[in-house]
Homo-oligomer: A and B are copies of this chain.
Protein backbone atom coordinates (compact mmCIF):
# COMPACT_ATOMS: atom_id res chain seq x y z
CA UNK A 1 0.00 0.00 0.00
CA UNK A 2 3.04 2.25 0.55
CA UNK A 3 3.73 1.97 -3.18
CA UNK A 4 0.09 2.61 -4.12
CA UNK A 5 0.27 5.73 -1.95
CA UNK A 6 3.41 6.87 -3.77
CA UNK A 7 1.49 6.51 -7.05
CA UNK A 8 -1.40 8.53 -5.59
CA UNK A 9 1.06 11.30 -4.67
CA UNK A 10 2.40 11.21 -8.23
CA UNK A 11 -1.17 11.83 -9.46
CA UNK A 12 -1.59 14.74 -7.01
CA UNK A 13 1.60 16.29 -8.36
CA UNK A 14 0.00 16.34 -11.81
CA UNK A 15 -3.20 17.94 -10.52
CA UNK A 16 -5.18 14.69 -10.57
CA UNK A 17 -7.36 13.39 -7.73
CA UNK A 18 -4.75 11.25 -5.94
CA UNK A 19 -5.60 7.57 -6.22
CA UNK A 20 -2.94 4.93 -6.83
CA UNK A 21 -3.18 1.20 -7.56
CA UNK A 22 -0.99 -1.80 -8.17
CA UNK A 23 -1.49 -5.39 -9.24
CA UNK A 24 0.63 -8.09 -7.60
CA UNK A 25 1.07 -11.68 -8.77
CA UNK A 26 3.36 -14.24 -7.14
CA UNK A 27 4.85 -11.48 -4.99
CA UNK A 28 5.76 -9.40 -8.06
CA UNK A 29 4.25 -6.09 -9.14
CA UNK A 30 2.89 -6.67 -12.66
CA UNK A 31 0.82 -3.52 -13.07
CA UNK A 32 0.62 -0.01 -11.66
CA UNK A 33 -1.57 2.99 -12.24
CA UNK A 34 -2.76 6.30 -10.95
CA UNK A 35 -5.77 8.41 -11.79
CA UNK A 36 -5.16 10.36 -15.02
CA UNK A 37 -8.67 11.41 -15.96
CA UNK A 38 -7.81 15.07 -16.57
CA UNK A 39 -4.46 14.60 -18.34
CA UNK A 40 -5.77 11.84 -20.56
CA UNK A 41 -9.19 13.51 -20.98
CA UNK A 42 -10.61 10.05 -20.56
CA UNK A 43 -13.37 8.94 -18.18
CA UNK A 44 -11.94 5.40 -18.04
CA UNK A 45 -8.51 6.55 -16.82
CA UNK A 46 -8.79 5.34 -13.21
CA UNK A 47 -5.83 3.92 -11.29
CA UNK A 48 -7.28 0.41 -11.08
CA UNK A 49 -8.00 0.22 -14.83
CA UNK A 50 -4.35 0.94 -15.69
CA UNK A 51 -3.14 -1.61 -13.15
CA UNK A 52 -5.49 -4.32 -14.48
CA UNK A 53 -4.70 -3.52 -18.12
CA UNK A 54 -0.96 -3.81 -17.43
CA UNK A 55 -1.50 -7.02 -15.43
CA UNK A 56 -3.43 -8.61 -18.34
CA UNK A 57 -0.62 -7.66 -20.72
CA UNK A 58 2.03 -9.01 -18.31
CA UNK A 59 0.25 -12.35 -17.85
CA UNK A 60 -0.96 -12.60 -21.47
CA UNK A 61 -4.45 -13.69 -20.39
CA UNK A 62 -7.70 -11.93 -19.51
CA UNK A 63 -8.20 -14.01 -16.37
CA UNK A 64 -6.24 -12.33 -13.60
CA UNK A 65 -6.54 -15.31 -11.28
CA UNK A 66 -4.04 -15.11 -8.41
CA UNK A 67 -3.71 -11.34 -8.71
CA UNK A 68 -4.12 -9.05 -5.70
CA UNK A 69 -5.07 -5.48 -6.51
CA UNK A 70 -4.04 -2.78 -4.03
CA UNK A 71 -5.69 0.62 -4.29
CA UNK A 72 -5.69 3.62 -1.97
CA UNK A 73 -9.43 4.38 -2.37
CA UNK A 74 -12.50 2.13 -2.42
CA UNK A 75 -13.19 1.34 -6.11
CA UNK A 76 -16.14 2.90 -7.97
CA UNK A 77 -18.72 0.77 -9.82
CA UNK A 78 -16.69 0.75 -13.05
CA UNK A 79 -13.52 -0.44 -11.31
CA UNK A 80 -15.29 -2.91 -9.03
CA UNK A 81 -17.08 -4.30 -12.11
CA UNK A 82 -13.73 -4.54 -13.91
CA UNK A 83 -12.25 -6.45 -10.95
CA UNK A 84 -15.10 -8.96 -11.24
CA UNK A 85 -14.71 -9.20 -15.05
CA UNK A 86 -10.97 -9.77 -14.55
CA UNK A 87 -11.44 -12.52 -11.97
CA UNK A 88 -8.93 -10.75 -9.71
CA UNK A 89 -8.59 -12.94 -6.61
CA UNK A 90 -8.10 -10.36 -3.89
CA UNK A 91 -8.75 -6.65 -3.41
CA UNK A 92 -6.99 -4.61 -0.72
CA UNK A 93 -8.01 -1.00 -0.38
CA UNK A 94 -7.27 1.93 1.88
CA UNK A 95 -9.99 4.42 2.65
CA UNK A 96 -13.73 4.29 1.97
CA UNK A 97 -15.43 6.46 -0.66
CA UNK A 98 -18.83 7.23 0.90
CA UNK A 99 -20.06 9.03 -2.25
CA UNK A 100 -19.21 6.54 -4.98
CA UNK A 101 -17.63 3.48 -3.37
CA UNK A 102 -18.89 0.20 -4.82
CA UNK A 103 -17.24 -2.18 -2.35
CA UNK A 104 -19.20 -1.50 0.81
CA UNK A 105 -20.25 2.15 0.72
CA UNK A 106 -23.12 2.41 -1.81
CA UNK A 107 -23.30 -1.34 -2.49
CA UNK A 108 -20.84 -4.21 -2.74
CA UNK A 109 -20.11 -5.40 -6.27
CA UNK A 110 -16.93 -7.26 -5.31
CA UNK A 111 -18.74 -9.69 -3.02
CA UNK A 112 -22.11 -9.84 -4.83
CA UNK A 113 -23.40 -13.42 -4.46
CA UNK A 114 -25.20 -13.35 -7.85
CA UNK A 115 -21.98 -12.70 -9.79
CA UNK A 116 -20.00 -15.58 -11.30
CA UNK A 117 -16.91 -14.32 -9.43
CA UNK A 118 -16.38 -12.83 -6.00
CA UNK A 119 -13.24 -11.29 -4.57
CA UNK A 120 -11.66 -11.59 -1.15
CA UNK A 121 -11.74 -8.06 0.21
CA UNK A 122 -9.55 -6.39 2.85
CA UNK A 123 -10.25 -2.74 3.58
CA UNK A 124 -8.91 -0.03 5.85
CA UNK A 125 -5.21 -0.71 5.15
CA UNK A 126 -3.30 2.55 5.84
CA UNK A 127 -6.70 4.22 5.62
CA UNK A 128 -5.57 7.38 7.43
CA UNK A 129 -2.69 8.00 5.02
CA UNK A 130 -4.85 7.21 1.98
CA UNK A 131 -7.55 9.62 3.19
CA UNK A 132 -5.02 12.32 4.13
CA UNK A 133 -3.50 12.48 0.64
CA UNK A 134 -7.01 13.12 -0.76
CA UNK A 135 -7.84 15.68 1.95
CA UNK A 136 -4.59 17.58 1.33
CA UNK A 137 -5.27 17.60 -2.41
CA UNK A 138 -8.77 19.04 -2.08
CA UNK A 139 -7.61 21.57 0.55
CA UNK A 140 -4.92 22.83 -1.85
CA UNK A 141 -7.49 22.97 -4.65
CA UNK A 142 -9.80 25.13 -2.53
CA UNK A 143 -6.95 27.47 -1.52
CA UNK A 144 -5.93 27.88 -5.15
CA UNK A 145 -9.51 28.68 -6.15
CA UNK A 146 -9.74 31.32 -3.40
CA UNK A 147 -6.50 32.91 -4.60
CA UNK A 148 -7.95 33.45 -8.07
A residues within 8 Å of B by Cβ? 37-38, 40-46, 49, 52-53, 56-57, 60-64, 76-82, 84-87, 99-100, 102, 106-107, 109, 112, 114-116
A66 and B50 CA atoms in complex are apart in Å by: 26
Which chain B residues lie closer than 8 Å to A45 at the CB level? 62
A40 to B56, CA, bound (A): 9
If A42-B53, A62-B38 touch, whether A82 touches B78 (CB-CB below 8 Å) is: yes
In the bound complex, residues from chain B placing their C-beta under 8 Å from that of A43 are 52, 56, 62-64, 82, 85-87
Is the pair B41, A60 in contact by a Cβ cutoff of 8 Å?
yes
Provide the bound-state CA to CA distance between A84 and B46, in Å.
13
Report A11 CB to chain B, min CB distance, Å.
Answer: 15
Distance A80 CA – B112 CA, assembled complex (angstroms): 16
Docked CA distance A44–B46 (Å)? 13
- How many copies of the chain does the oligomer comprise? 2
Q: Main secondary structure on chain A at its contact with chain B?
A: loop
On whether A62 and B37 interact (CB within 8 A), knowing A44-B56, A106-B114, A116-B100, the answer reads yes
Cβ-defined partner of A85 (8 Å) among B76, B86, B109 = B76
Contact B76 A79 (CB under 8 A): no
A44, B79: Cα distance in complex, Å: 10
With A43-B86, A81-B81 given, name 13 new contacts (CB 8 A): A41-B61, A41-B62, A43-B64, A43-B82, A44-B52, A44-B82, A77-B77, A78-B78, A78-B81, A78-B82, A80-B81, A100-B115, A100-B116
